[in-house]
């Protein structure tokens, strides 16, 4: 079963709302099932749009925060249809795609408009699709505070944005491409890896808007690139950011008051097979600054991790002092804007 067939199978089995059949018929009349998801980023190849839409669906399906809050029909609608505004949106052939926007009203807005020409959406569904780009949305970047209000109105907005980020983080599957495109894709990916632009500002905005706290870009990228995709695929069944472990309780010895000693990791991950993994994401700079870290780590490993049979992974990043400082300033700035907006 190819991606187009899988999309249709899921849609028909989950969406029974009046007009759904007309909407699917319209999608088939467009290039939705053969179009790319972007011109040069995620899914920038034939069929990338439908594959990305399916990946968003899989990611949202594995979201434990939404269970019991929204029906399978609503989750299917927002995931599979969030990017229908990209139907008949691109021109050219792989890998030289260009944009030919025939209805220039905004990315999320256009998807809502096109869906509702055929099928009604609930308010929550419309808000989620409208704002699925989160802090990357042009309106938000232009100063709009409507995103904050939408997130307060319904958790579906943030969770769909999460799922979209997770799906975007999935790597291009070269094996899915026709042979004549594969060499071009490999060259494209190799060239893309050499040009890592400064995206700290955008990443910090998304991280802050998510409501989760990431002390560094390294932590955020590990979450988006590793934790979230594994949650979406069901490999990780529970995760916790910055879990704190008590190494020694507060006490007293010969009249000397002793403070409690704690160890805080970056992530605690519980896998479907019961394996627990503790992950530390640290830059070389932070390791040098936290001179007691090696001691606290050793105590934690000997007193807690080893007896429990937990895995321990340490990831060292190349972030320097200025990058970490800038990340925290940007995260605080966006967080403050959200509170005051």
> Which pLDDT score is estimated for 49?
95
**What φ, ψ does residue 208 adopt, rounded to 5°?**
-70, -40
Q: Are residues 32 and 89 in the same domain?
A: yes
Q: Are residues 101 and 145 in the same domain?
A: yes
Mark which of 196, 228, 245 sits at the end of a domain: 196
Number of domains in the chain: 2
> Which pLDDT score is estimated for 178?
47
Nearest of 28, 29, 30, 122 to residue 76 by alpha carbon = 122
Inside any domain, residue 67: yes
Q: Are residues 15 and 81 in the same domain?
A: yes
> Which pLDDT score is estimated for 337?
46
> CB-based contacts of 189: which residues, under 8 Å, 6+ apart?
172
Inside any domain, residue 209: no
Mark which of 134, 163, 196 sits at the end of a domain: 196
Cis bond before residue 66 (omega within 30° of 0) = no
Q: Are residues 291 and 326 in the same domain?
A: yes
Q: Are residues 52 and 108 in the same domain?
A: yes
Query: Is the dihedral angle over the CA atoms 322, 325, 330, 333 positive or is it negative?
Result: negative
DSSP secondary structure letters along 275-308: -EEEEEEEEHHHHHH-TTHHHHHHHHIIIIIHHH
Distances (CA, A) of 267 to 88, 146, 261, 276, 288: 42, 32, 19, 10, 21
Inside any domain, residue 159: yes
Half-sphere exposure of 307 (CA within 13 A, CB side): 6
Q: Are residues 156 and 229 in the same domain?
A: no
Helix (H) or strand (E) run with residue 240 in it: strand 236-241
> Which pLDDT score is estimated for 189?
42
> Which pLDDT score is estimated for 67?
62
What is the Cα–Cα distance from 191 to 171, expressed in whole angstroms? 15
Inside any domain, residue 203: no
pLDDT, tens digit only, all 341 positions of the chain: 788 998 999 999 889 999 999 999 999 999 999 999 998 777 889 999 999 999 888 878 766 556 678 888 999 999 999 999 999 999 998 888 999 998 998 889 999 999 999 999 999 999 999 999 987 788 877 888 898 889 888 889 988 998 888 777 654 344 444 454 455 545 544 444 343 334 455 556 555 555 567 788 788 778 876 787 687 678 888 999 899 999 999 999 999 999 999 999 999 999 999 999 999 988 877 767 777 888 989 999 999 999 999 999 998 876 677 777 777 777 666 555 444 34
Domain containing residue 70: 3-196
Q: Are residues 225 and 283 in the same domain?
A: yes
Q: Are residues 321 and 228 in the same domain?
A: yes
Q: Are residues 173 and 288 in the same domain?
A: no
Inside any domain, residue 208: no
> Which pLDDT score is estimated for 272?
92
Opening angle at CA 174, ends 169 and 177, nearest 5: 120
C-alpha 319, offset from chain centre? 21
> Which pLDDT score is estimated for 119?
97
> Which pLDDT score is estimated for 192?
40
How many residues can be counted in the chain? 341
Cβ pair 77, 111 in contact under 8 A:
no
Inside any domain, residue 42: yes
Inside any domain, residue 71: yes
> Which pLDDT score is estimated for 308?
96
Q: Are residues 10 and 89 in the same domain?
A: yes
> Which pLDDT score is estimated for 163?
85
What is the Cα–Cα distance from 29 to 26, expressed in whole angstroms? 5
Q: Are residues 24 and 157 in the same domain?
A: yes
Helix (H) or strand (E) run with residue 54 in it: helix 48-61
Inside any domain, residue 40: yes
**Which residues on adjacent β-strands are paired with residue 238?**
270
What is the Cα–Cα distance from 247 to 260, expressed in whole angstroms? 8
Q: Are residues 115 and 156 in the same domain?
A: yes
């Amino acid at each position: 079963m190819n991606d187009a067939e899988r999309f249709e199978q899921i849609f028909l089995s989950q969406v029974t709302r009046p007009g759904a059949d007309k909407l699917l018929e319209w999608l088939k009349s467009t290039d939705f099932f053969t179009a790319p998801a972007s011109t040069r980023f995620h899914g920038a190849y034939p069929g990338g749009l439908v594959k990305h839409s399916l990946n968003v669906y899989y990611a949202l399906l594995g979201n434990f925060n939404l269970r019991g809050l929204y029906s399978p029909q609503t989750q299917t609608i927002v995931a599979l249809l969030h990017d229908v505004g990209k139907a008949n949106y691109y021109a050219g052939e792989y890998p030289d795609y260009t944009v030919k926007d025939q209805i220039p009203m905004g990315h999320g807005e256009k998807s809502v408009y096109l869906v509702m020409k055929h099928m009604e959406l609930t308010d929550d569904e419309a808000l989620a699709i409208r704002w699925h780009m989160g802090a990357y949305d042009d309106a938000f970047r232009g100063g709009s505070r409507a995103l904050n209000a939408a997130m307060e109105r319904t958790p579906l907005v943030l969770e769909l944005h999460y799922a979209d980020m997770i799906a975007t983080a999935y790597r291009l599957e070269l094996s899915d491409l026709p042979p004549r495109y594969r060499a071009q894709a490999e060259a494209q990916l190799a060239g893309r890896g050499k040009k890592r632009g400064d995206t700290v500002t955008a990443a910090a905005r998304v991280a802050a808007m998510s409501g989760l706290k990431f002390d560094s870009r390294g932590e955020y990228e590990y979450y988006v690139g590793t934790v979230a995709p594994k949650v979406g695929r069901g490999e990780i069944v529970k995760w916790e950011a910055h879990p704190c472990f008590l190494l020694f309780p507060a006490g007293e010895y010969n009249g000397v008051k002793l403070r409690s000693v704690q160890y805080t990791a970056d992530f605690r991950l519980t896998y479907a097979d019961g394996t627990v993994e503790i992950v530390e994401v640290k830059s070389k700079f932070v390791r040098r600054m936290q001179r007691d870290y090696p001691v606290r780590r050793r105590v934690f490993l000997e007193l807690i991790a080893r007896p429990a049979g937990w895995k321990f992974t340490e990831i060292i990043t190349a972030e320097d002092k200025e990058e970490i400082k800038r990340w925290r300033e940007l995260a605080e700035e966006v967080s403050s804007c959200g509170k005051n907006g």
